[in-house]
Amino acid sequence: MTKLPYPTLPVPNRWDRRGLPGWTYHSPELFELERSELFLIHWQIVGHENDIPAPGDWLTFDMLGERALIMRGRDGIVRAFHNLCRHRGARVVDGAQGHCKGALVCPFHGWVYNLDGSLRGPSRPESFDDDMDRSEFGLKPIELQNFHGFLLIRFKPGPQPDLAELFAPYDADFAAYRADEILPASGWTGATELSVNWKSVRDVDNEGYHVAMAHPALQDLYGRTYRDLQLAGGLSISHGEFGDAPARRWSVKEYLKHHEPQDWLPPHLKNSWTYYGLFPNAVFAFTPESIQYYQEIPLDTGTTALTGRIYRRPDETRRMRIARYLAYRIDRETSEEDQQLSIWSNESMASDAFDAFHLSDLEYGVRCHHDGLREVLPVMALEEAPPEGRVGAENARLLEDKPK
């Protein structure tokens, strides 16, 4: 197996193998805390700069009542704003992605914004005070950073560092993959709604112990070499190498047949599918011919949207396109299998008979994710659910007691 160049955390000899208590998967009050203390203040992937190559191109990202608009200005700079008209709060753009010529016109009363978010002017300006200061009514900015072309936003300041620091262990690989060059692959932007708490999706995705049993295609492709690695800072890397043995399944055989060795990739990425996790809810996934990211967007305690985007290489050959399609087929099959596992796992959280997880060393990633959650929301460590209405207060108390 290829030696991997990552600063990996070892799995301890003995560790608490229980997962989070069941109540954390269905408490409405905890869900509110997850919204404010987790999702709104941690980096969220919203797309890639090549999704919006021209001035006036935009995309949107909605999450938990907040809505973002990411737009390329006339000056070529990509900015993020709240998709919220400063007049009465209408969406200034509607839809997932689009283009506007020259200016944004709010569909409610027609206020006009420049592509840099500044207010050009209200409609019927004579109906406002003479001294209305337009500079006070620009679209509200949202923090946005770019990592090798990927655009991430954060609705509010939070505990994670800037992306260059946070993703330092990913930097060499993203540079090697030339992630800044990738182009959106037409016809795919995932959005599936699943009736589970978002953590049940992540609990399944955070370990590869289940690959051998639950994912016959992945097992056939790279099961013999698959590794899950934990890194500091809520990062994780999963890595599986293929091609060391003949495949049995049609899609895998065809993938291996069409896979074209990409000589420009370093040895550890040449024949591998590699997944780069981002706490708390997203993953970038690279194969030699395709790139995607996927993430869980919670809708309520028991509903989660599975979303993401898929990209291709700019110099894609016909064979690479076929390989990418076959990789997508394997992924789709895998995702359906995972969705069923998430449903069962989530159901168990409401069962009186459910005691706790008893995790294997191969599921240490689940534990690390839960540790990250407990760090932000220590109330999740309580085995017994606090009464609804007291969850926030308990959490505040535990945060206060935490050794600084």
Q: For binding to Fe ion (CB under 5 A), which residues are involved?
A: 338
Nearest to 288 by CA among 178, 377, 187: 178
Cβ proximity to ligand FES, 15 vs 128, nearer residue: 128
Of 11-19, 85-93, 137-145, 337-345: span binding ligand FES (CB under 6 A)? 85-93
Supply the minimum distance, in Å, between the C-beta of residue 85 and ligand FES: 3
Are the C-beta atoms of 91 and 149 separated by less than 8 Å? no
CA gap 180, 260 in Å, rounded: 21
Query: Is 265 in a helix, a strand, or coil?
Result: coil
CA gap 377, 374 in Å, rounded: 5
* φ/ψ of residue 107, rounded to 5: -75, -5
Point out which residues pair with 141 in neighbouring strands. Answer: 81
Supply the minimum distance, in Å, between the C-beta of residue 112 and ligand FES: 9
- Per partner kind, with CB cut-offs from 5 to 8 A, the member of Fe ion, ligand FES, none near residue 87 is ligand FES
- Per partner kind, with CB cut-offs from 5 to 8 A, the member of Fe ion, ligand FES, none near residue 357 is none
- 10 by Cβ neighbours in 10 Å (0-12 / 13-18 / 19+) ranks as exposed
- Per partner kind, with CB cut-offs from 5 to 8 A, the member of ligand FES, Fe ion, none near residue 338 is Fe ion
Report the residue from 109, 178, 253, 397 that binds ligand FES according to the rule CB under 6 A.
Answer: 109
According to the binding rule CB under 6 A, does residue 113 interact with ligand FES?
Answer: no
Tokens of 249: 């399944």
Q: Crossing angle for the helix pair 198-205 and 364-376, nearest 10 degrees?
A: 140
CA gap 328, 292 in Å, rounded: 10
Of 27-35, 61-69, 80-88, 333-341: span binding ligand FES (CB under 6 A)? 80-88
Of 27-35, 101-109, 348-356, 391-399: span binding ligand FES (CB under 6 A)? 101-109
Of 45-53, 107-115, 141-149, 200-208: span binding ligand FES (CB under 6 A)? 107-115
The secondary structure of residue 270, as a DSSP letter, is H
The secondary structure of residue 342, as a DSSP letter, is H
Nearest to 47 by CA among 364, 247, 354, 292: 292
- Per partner kind, with CB cut-offs from 5 to 8 A, the member of Fe ion, ligand FES, none near residue 183 is none
Secondary-structure breakdown of the chain: helix, strand, coil percentages, each rounded to the nearest 5: 35, 25, 40
Cβ proximity to ligand FES, 90 vs 183, nearer residue: 90
Supply the minimum distance, in Å, between the C-beta of residue 327 and Fe ion: 15
Instruction: Tell me the pairing of strands 112-114 and 119-121.
Output: antiparallel
According to the binding rule CB under 6 A, does residue 319 interact with ligand FES?
Answer: no
- Per partner kind, with CB cut-offs from 5 to 8 A, the member of ligand FES, Fe ion, none near residue 150 is none
Cβ proximity to Fe ion, 167 vs 276, nearer residue: 276
Cβ proximity to ligand FES, 109 vs 224, nearer residue: 109
Count of chain residues binding ligand FES (CB under 6 A): 9
CA gap 397, 45 in Å, rounded: 32
Supply the minimum distance, in Å, between the C-beta of residue 107 and ligand FES: 7
Residues that bind ligand FES (CB under 6 A): 85, 87-88, 90, 106, 108-111
